[in-house]
Structure 1
Amino acid sequence: MTNTQEITLHWIIDPLCGWSYGALSLLQATAQQWPAQFELHSGGLFMGYSRRRIDADWHLHVRDHDARIAELTGATFGEQYREHLCRDQSVVLDSLPASAAMLALQQHSGADALAFLAAAQHAWYVDGKDISQTSVLDAVAAKLGLAADVWQEARSDAAKQLASQAINRTRQLMAQHGAQGFPSLLVQRGTEYFNVPVNRFYGEPAALVQQLTQWLQA
C-alpha cells in the first residue's frame, strides 16, 4: 500500500470557473478522504490581460455552459446569478481577490480554504454577488466566522502579490504535466505526477474517491 505521506492531491480551480463550481463535491470528497494531502491551487482564469467586463456575448456563452454544468454535476445556479449578475455589464471578471484569499487561508492551520471557496462560489453562482469586490468577500468571511487578523491578512495587497506568483507557478505545473482547463487534478507521488480525468467523475464524488484509492494503492 502506498504511503499517503508521499502523496499530494493538487486541485487546480478558479473561483469564477463554472466547471470548478460544478466540481465542488469532488473537491470536498477528496479533502475529506485525504485532508493532509489535499491542496488547492488557483489557475487565474481572469487575471491581468484576461480580466474582462461582462457583456452580452459573455452572457450567452456562460448560459449554455451553465446549463451543461448543471446537467452533468447537479450544481445549482441561482436566479440572482442568472438574471442579474450575468447581465450586469458593470462587472469586471477578476479572479485575483477570491483566489488570493483562498490561497492565503490555506496557509493558516485554523482556516478552511475549501470552506471559503465553497462560500465564495455560493455567493457568486447562487446569490449573484460579485466576489471580485472586497466588500462581498468581507461578508463571506464574516459569515464563516474567520478571525479578524487572519482575514485582514488574506485580503491584503501582499496576499494578492503572493497569489499572483503562486498562480504563475501553477500554470507552469499545468503545462509540465498536461493539465488543461479548470478544474484539473494532478496527483503527485514523490517526484511523479499523473493527471486525473476529472470530467469522468462529475456528480459522482464517491466514484472518484474509489478510483483514486485504487490508483494510490496500486
Structure 2
Amino acid sequence: MDSVERIPLTYAFDAYCGWCYGFGPALHEFAAANADRIELRVLSGGLFTGSRALPVSAYPHIPGANERIAQLTGVTFGDGYRAALTDGAVVMDSADAATGLAALRSQPGANALDAAAAMQRAWYLDGRSLSDTEVYRDIAAELGLDADAVATAYVSPAARAEAEADFLQVRRLGVDGYPTLLLHTTHGTNRLGGPVASADALTQAVDQHLAAAGA
C-alpha cells in the first residue's frame, strides 16, 4: 500500500486552446515521470463560452498562432483541422467541450489527462467538432471506455453542471490564461512553468516549491 501523500496539482486547460495542445506532450511526460507522487486533476476553463462561442472563422488570428505554437512546441496540426479552419464553420463552444470532458472522466478507469489529450487530437488533428456526441463515442472507444455510457453522460444535465463547476473552480483559483498548471501546498498555490515548459523543468519547479515549503 502506498503511504506517500500525493502532491495535489490542478491543470486548467481548454480543449479549444492551441497553447494547451502544444503543452500537452510535455505535461504528459511530466505526469508520467511523477506518477508515483502527484495527484493531478484536470479542469476546463471555458475559453469560448457565451458570446465568445463562435465559428472558428471569427478568430482570424488562429492560423498565425498555430504556426508559433508548432514552432515552439513541436506539435503538428492535422489536415482535417486545417480543412476545418479553411471552411470556418465549426463553432468553438468550450461549454460543450467541458461537458464532454466531464462525461469522459466520470467513467470507471478513465484518466482525465488522457481524455483531454484525445479531445484535442479530435480537433487539432481531425478537425472534428467537440459539440458532436459521436466524437465522444469515438474517444471512449479509443480510451477503452463504455461508448454508450459516455454518450448518455454527455447529454445529461449532470455533466453540464459539472462543466459549469469546473469554470467556477478555475475562476476561484484566479486563472486568467491557459494552459495553467498549479501546485497546491500548505503554503498556498503556485503556478508551474508555462506553455513551452519542458517536462524536466516542471519536475524541477515542483522540487523547488516543495523544498521551499519544507515538504
- Give TM-score scaled by structure 1 length: 0.84
Shift of 1:118: 1.2
Cα RMSD (Å): 2.3
Residue-by-residue CA offset, 1:2-25 (whole Å, 9 max, x unaligned): x97363111110000000000102
Residue-by-residue CA offset, 1:48-67 (whole Å, 9 max, x unaligned): 22211222x52x31111000
Change (3 A) 1:199 1:24: closer
| C-alpha contact (below 8 Å) 1:40/1:103 kept by paired residues | no
Shift of 1:109: 5.1
State how far apart, in whole Å, the 2-side matches of 1:199 and 1:144 are. Answer: 25
State how far apart, in whole Å, the 2-side matches of 1:17 and 1:120 are. Answer: 11
Please give the residue correspondences for 1:87-166 in structure 2 after superposition, counting only pairs within 5 Å: 87-108=86-107, 110-148=109-147, 150-152=149-151, 154-158=153-157, 159-166=159-166
Runs (5+) with no aligned partner, structure 1: none
State how far apart, in whole Å, the 2-side matches of 1:146 and 1:26 are. Answer: 25
Runs (5+) with no aligned partner, structure 2: none
Change (3 A) 1:191 1:154: farther
State how far apart, in whole Å, the 1-side matches of 2:179 and 2:12 are. Answer: 5
Change (3 A) 1:154 1:190: farther
Shift of 1:89: 3.1
> In the alignment, which residue of structure 1 is the partner of 2:203?
209
SS at match of 1:111: coil
| C-alpha contact (below 8 Å) 1:7/1:190 kept by paired residues | no
> In the alignment, which residue of structure 1 is the partner of 2:43?
41
State how far apart, in whole Å, the 2-side matches of 1:93 and 1:4 are. Answer: 41
Change (3 A) 1:42 1:79: same
State how far apart, in whole Å, the 2-side matches of 1:104 and 1:50 are. Answer: 23
- Aligned letter for 2:22? G
| C-alpha contact (below 8 Å) 1:184/1:196 kept by paired residues | yes
**Aligned structure 1 segments of 4 or more residues deviating by more than 4 angstroms:** none
Residue-by-residue CA offset, 1:74-94 (whole Å, 9 max, x unaligned): 111112212x11122331111
| C-alpha contact (below 8 Å) 1:41/1:103 kept by paired residues | no
State how far apart, in whole Å, the 2-side matches of 1:107 and 1:138 are. Answer: 14
State how far apart, in whole Å, the 1-side matches of 2:196 and 2:4 are. Answer: 24
> In the alignment, which residue of structure 1 is the partner of 2:62?
62
State how far apart, in whole Å, the 2-side matches of 1:86 and 1:103 are. Answer: 26
- Aligned letter for 1:69? I
State how far apart, in whole Å, the 2-side matches of 1:199 and 1:114 are. Answer: 16
- Aligned letter for 2:165? Q
Change (3 A) 1:106 1:4: farther
Q: What is the count of residue pairs matched by the alignment?
A: 207
